[in-house]
Structure 1
């Protein structure tokens, strides 16, 4: 290693390298400065993380790749969010990704930090072949029950697609539809299409709950997203349910009708 190359220069050079076998890496290993060794370790950790994310993405692409190899062109992933909360809608999304779609780090939306989830949402929105969203509000959830409401949201999300899918990958659910389908338990962490759908659905619902929080700030919807946290239950018992609460859910039913 040329000792005239500063630590900062080496750091800038490493930002451009993504191969473990790059000649510059071999030169860095011969540099005896501790600062260079620290930079090399930091770089190696970053590259290993990138490789792990790439491997994870490839593993999550197996279902889609297999279906494409069988001749299915428009594979839609379907997922929902909001089955468990006491307030707010259940939201489903269906997403058809192009065959060359690549987004390392894609995973179950609950495992992705909010800031990154918002970034992924924009990327999926921009690069997907088609996206459909289905929303069932609390009144209809109470009328149908949450299981049937979830199915209805998923069917609505499929109908909202601009392109008709020829195969469905669904997270832990079976639907009465004419096209072939596969139900995958924990599909949002096993299929890139379902994972993409989970992100679209969650960001859509979270934004709705934040809007509701502006009208009813005492419930903390912007933080709990309608789930029965201690703060939420305390407000529910003190003020009663809002128009967005699910009256058929026991904690809401027991809270009375103070807010209408």
Structure 2
């Protein structure tokens, strides 16, 4: 686990000084996975500069993430989580699909944000945007979004584990772990795998696909 870093309100204050009171944090989970969705959360915290226990989800255990994600939902002024599934990722590429999911999440926030902070994700938006690296570890708003994105995606991957037994989704969450590669060699590529990602595309070129092609219906 990376060394713990305590977030603060420095990036939010940059927006506040310019009169943008409602600042939303945005973060994603699953961009590098071989299977399942990329998940984006947007969170609008009260602009009170309160210290929260929120941290970058990568710094926390699964149990801590669940506890703090529930706290995010409790204290947030507004929050939303959206997914881009493999079909959309194939159509838009992973960055485009991430942007599309972020746009959907932001559109659901009520009240609407006046400014944004992301973890180095340069969204196409008319809103004032700060996109520093490691914002999920440095900004309370982005850390809160990180927690929601990670816990919601993990929940979905655990559900997919029961729908697609044998791949081990509940364990590796769709990332390129050795156990995932072994399962793919044994079972073939499923319709929740990202067929445009290089490791999966190479596998499809060299071995027959044993499961049905993707359908319009998403899990």
Asked if these proteins are the same fold (TM beyond 0.5), I'd say yes
- Kept in 2: contact 1:136–1:153 (CA 8 A): yes
Task: Please give the secondary structure, in 1, of the residue aligned with 2:96.
Answer: helix
Tell me, yes or no, if structure 1 residue 188 matches structure 2 residue 129. Answer: no
Tell me, yes or no, if structure 1 residue 253 matches structure 2 residue 201. Answer: yes
- Kept in 1: contact 2:90–2:194 (CA 8 A): yes
The residue that corresponds to 1:205 in the other structure is: 153
Alpha-carbon distance in structure 1 between the residues aligned to 2:74 and 2:54: 15
Say what the alpha-carbon RMSD is for the aligned residues. Answer: 1.7
Shift of 1:240: 0.7
Task: Please give the secondary structure, in 2, of the residue aligned with 1:153.
Answer: helix
5+ residue gaps, structure 1: 1-52
1:80 corresponds, among 28, 35, 38, to 28
Alpha-carbon distance in structure 1 between the residues aligned to 2:33 and 2:138: 24
Alpha-carbon distance in structure 1 between the residues aligned to 2:134 and 2:189: 32
Greater relative contact order (CA < 8 Å, ≥ 6 in sequence)? 2
Q: Where does 1:108-147 land on structure 2 (aligned, <5 Å)?
A: 108-147=56-95
Q: Deviations over 1:52-104 (max 9, x none)?
A: x9x934xx222223433442211000111111000000011110000236454
Shift of 1:142: 1.1
- Kept in 2: contact 1:89–1:138 (CA 8 A): yes
The residue that corresponds to 1:7 in the other structure is: none
1:175 corresponds, among 115, 123, 132, to 123
Q: Deviations over 1:138-183 (max 9, x none)?
A: 1110111111111111111111112111111111121222211111
Alpha-carbon distance in structure 1 between the residues aligned to 2:71 and 2:108: 19
The residue that corresponds to 1:154 in the other structure is: 102
1:242 corresponds, among 186, 190, 196, to 190
Question: Higher Cα Rg: structure 1 or 2?
Answer: 1
- Kept in 2: contact 1:101–1:127 (CA 8 A): no
Structure 1 or 2: larger helix share? 1
Number of equivalences:
205
